[in-house]
Structure 1
């Protein structure tokens, strides 16, 4: 006894063109919402069939005509969106979400990386870096934004890093203050000249003072403005700073360095010839005074 044969379902010209990857023919047959609503024998939609074969042009037309990217058949449970991902035609939005029109130079990346990766937190050293990069003002907004983003991540991740957070905050604070000063004097001097002038202002050492008072005030303001007051490192540093009046030793910089790196720095040493050359015109105007407690000459060293 012969078994009854299963009737074959005639494939529509539209799905036949999609299967054969005949893009132009398929687009000619896909012009209305009714045509876009067709399904093949398995229940797959026009969009699903086109996505399965990775045909971007037909997919775009099908979406324009109202096809659902999340539609799925009862047999496979795959959606057109899944097919697009498997065909590597899907590009997550996050990849291009922060991509702007402006292309930044590699030198900018190197400058920001050197700032964030360095252990130098002295304001004058930060200003030196600022003055050496010719586009510090041009890319000021981007520089400050990136440093700020890196700073914010230090205490908001699972494994917080209080030392890195405080270090980055100091760098960000000094970069902001330098940028403000340079922009306020942009009509008179170049960014390099203005930034070095700012360094001389905060490095001023008045006759009779134990330390550079302007520099000490700047450092204390930077610590006081740290936004995460709950940080144990910040609380400890603020308590230490309150033990010494502003303008007296130990300086705010000494407290900061000890908090960050757990070590005492040499009292009578420049960190480089560049610092020594920069500071000498300021230093030679004043005779060194003797600090009674430390028994050493308190000079204008960084």
Structure 2
């Protein structure tokens, strides 16, 4: 059996890290995989004798490729039908144990990162999530270390002003999700009203492919009105993007008659919650079928 060459071994060893970097910059697993392919092609052409730190070198290539793609997908999102949400990942339970990693890949945080300029996003991710040195980041984004420090400070302030201020423990998230699930399944509208903030926002991402609200649904009563229509779905708790979430499955007959089977209900959507001060302030529902392929198997993410 042929042993892997050093370049292949290094890439395999750091692949999950590189995927996580690309995913946090792009919020799309499919785009992140494309970035990894480009990274590998460039890495395979490097003279390994000139590489002192394979991890840093690979992160640098991945970051540059992700920045290039980020500018492209931003133009694509401008014509997206309805609200755009990150592509959800089914993650292992141990991701939740690393609070900073779980927070960085959460739906809420990825939406905050969307509001950063591309270079700001790259610097924030590399510094605040992966704790890279300013010198390393400077090489990755092709800026001076002093410029990177200024960008990091600006990006950190921007994120802090928009992220949830309260730290929510995994137990609190699970309890809130279980209560939410029971209230929706039983049609207990009063209980839902007690759990949801008056100014709650529901974002539904159908991508123009399946039915979804084309604008954010704002306010407790309008949101509850939407949730009350979910009685035909079955709810399955799961770890999505490092946090408790619900995978909704339905009879496939309406959209795909050939896939109509009680033993094979299709994934209809994913629901993730944003909690603040004990109330649900945000509900994210991803329905676009093109974004649901990663929910049949766990995707490794790490730092």
- TM-score bracket relative to the smaller structure: under 0.3
Bigger radius of gyration among the two: 1
TM-score, normalised on structure 2? 0.24
**Bigger RCO of structures 1 and 2 (CA < 8 A, at least 6 apart):** 2
More strand by share: 2
TM-score, normalised on structure 1? 0.24
